[in-house]
Amino acid sequence: MEKGDLPKALLLMAPTRGEEEVWFGERILASCRSWARSQEDLDLLELDGGSPDFSADVLFDFIGSQGLFGGRRLLVFGRAEKALAKSSGLQAALETACLANDDLRMLVQASGTTKAAKALAGIKGDGIYLERFRRLYGDPPPWRPHDLDASEAAQFVQAEGRAMNLRLASGSSGALVECVGNRPADLVKSLEHFSLLEEETVTADRVREVVTHSAEGDAFRFADAVIQGDGRGAFRCLRQLEHRGLRTWDGKRLAPREAIALLWSVLGRQLDQTRAVLDGLARGMNQKDAFQMAGVPVGGPPAKRMESRLRLCDKEQLERVQDALLQSERRIKQGKWRQPLHVLEWLALRGHRRKESA
């Protein structure tokens, strides 16, 4: 693109399998817009199909016109799925424009798998390119199940870190995914946080130290309480969520559904890690080897948290919490409970272990 080599059409679409990740397409759109605005001989039209001001007539006029002074034309069309759902004839017009032998070049981003979006993705022709983007895998591959740095999301962190001139020590990229999740935007924002701190080398311990004072830290506290059967501690975390919300490292307040998704995600990962440690110990491993096998640092706050957890829970408790987690997710997805916070309260109650009376 820097050389002005534009394809006839570049279509950014949802994946055929897996969950879509729109961040990649949005980043390509932003890069294209920035480049296009710097070109003096380019007739540019930027449209947002999700904007209330969107007008299909503007698009039809641009497609049917000629370039100013014989120059090149470029259409940058974001969130096209919104407009495709409302405007009849838009999909056919875009398809015709893609196949036309003229000076028009197009970059179209459309999320979802609607009939119109599928039809757009099916356009074939010279110079027409289709790119699909799915969510990054946050879990390590099956052949390296406890190497957190081996996950797709962790490798993304490593690549983005290099681009920011951040030196990521062994274990730090996996720790970041473990704490923040596998959303590219959240991972990049977290790396930018470390860049602003002017820290040339980021270690796994430093990641967890910073996380302690953020929404992720609250999520870990909730996970600890639920796994250990401490219903009162879990309810205290939820009351904080209800009254003051959860905030990310940069102070942004998470929306309720985002916060609850974070609590679910961290709890699920901590359950898997605790189960792996217990399995290792049951096979005769010493604690250090079991921790390393499960991807738990052998020292520092994560190790102390795991040691405390092992003293207070067993496989039966893990199975009880895992079953409650699956049921709570099912209730939300099936729409049986409309208040996610109530589902988390139920989850905390199901995981609570009453102390035996003396």
Q: Are 254 and 247 in contact, with CB atoms under 8 Å apart? A: yes
Q: Contact, 167 vs 48, CB < 8 A?
A: no
Angle at 342 between CA 336 and CA 343, to 5 degrees: 60
Among residues 156, 188, 211, the one where a domain terminates is: 211
Instruction: Quote the domain boundaries for residue 155.
Output: 148-211
Give me the pLDDT at residue 252, please: 65
Residue 2 in domain? no
Query: 170 and 67, same structural domain?
Result: no
In a domain, 143, yes or no: no
Where residue 339 sits, what CATH number does that domain have? 1.20.272
Domain co-membership, 230 together with 275: yes
In the prediction, which pLDDT does 162 show? Answer: 92
Domain check: are 19 and 69 in the same one? yes
Same domain? 118 vs 184: no
Residue 154 confidence (pLDDT):
94
The span from the CA of 157 to the CA of 135, in Å, is: 14
CATH number at residue 175: 1.10.8.60
Residue 229 within any structural domain of the chain: yes
Residue 337: both structure tokens together: 């409970």
Report d(CA 2, CA 106) in Å as an integer: 16
Same domain, yes or no: 190 and 223: no
Q: 89 and 178 share a domain?
A: no
Q: What CATH number has the domain bearing residue 38?
A: 3.40.50
Do 122 and 175 fall within a single domain? no
Q: Are residues 181 and 247 in the same domain?
A: no
Q: Is residue 257 part of a domain?
A: yes
Residue 109 lies in a domain: yes
Q: Please give the span between the terminal C-alpha atoms of the chain, in angstroms, as a whole number.
A: 74
Instruction: Note whether residue 358 is domain-resident.
Output: no
Of 218, 256, 215, 216, residue with least CA distance to 234: 218
Whole-number pLDDT of residue 352: 85
End residue of a domain, out of 158, 183, 211 = 211
Question: If we measure between CA atoms, which residue out of 293, 262, 301 comes closest to residue 178?
Answer: 262
Residue 54, domain member (yes or no): yes
The answer to the question of residue 138 being in a domain is no
| pLDDT at 356 (0 to 100) | 45
Note whether 119 and 155 are same-domain residues.
no
Q: 342 and 234 in one domain?
A: yes
CA distances for 220 relative to 170, 183, 211, 234, 273, angstroms: 22, 18, 9, 11, 13
Q: Please report the pLDDT score of residue 260 as a whole number.
A: 75
pTM (2 decimals)? 0.61
Domain match, 204 and 219 both = no
- Please check whether residues 185 and 241 belong to one and the same domain: no
pLDDT digit string (tens) for the chain, length 358 residues:
445 567 899 999 989 888 889 999 999 999 999 999 888 888 899 999 988 899 899 999 998 887 555 568 999 999 998 898 888 788 889 988 888 888 899 999 998 887 878 888 888 888 899 999 998 988 888 888 878 899 999 999 999 999 999 999 998 999 888 877 788 988 898 888 888 777 778 888 888 777 655 666 777 888 888 898 888 888 888 887 777 666 665 556 766 667 777 788 788 888 888 999 999 898 998 888 888 888 777 666 677 788 888 888 888 888 888 888 888 877 777 766 666 677 788 888 888 876 543 3
The total number of structural domains that make up the chain: 3
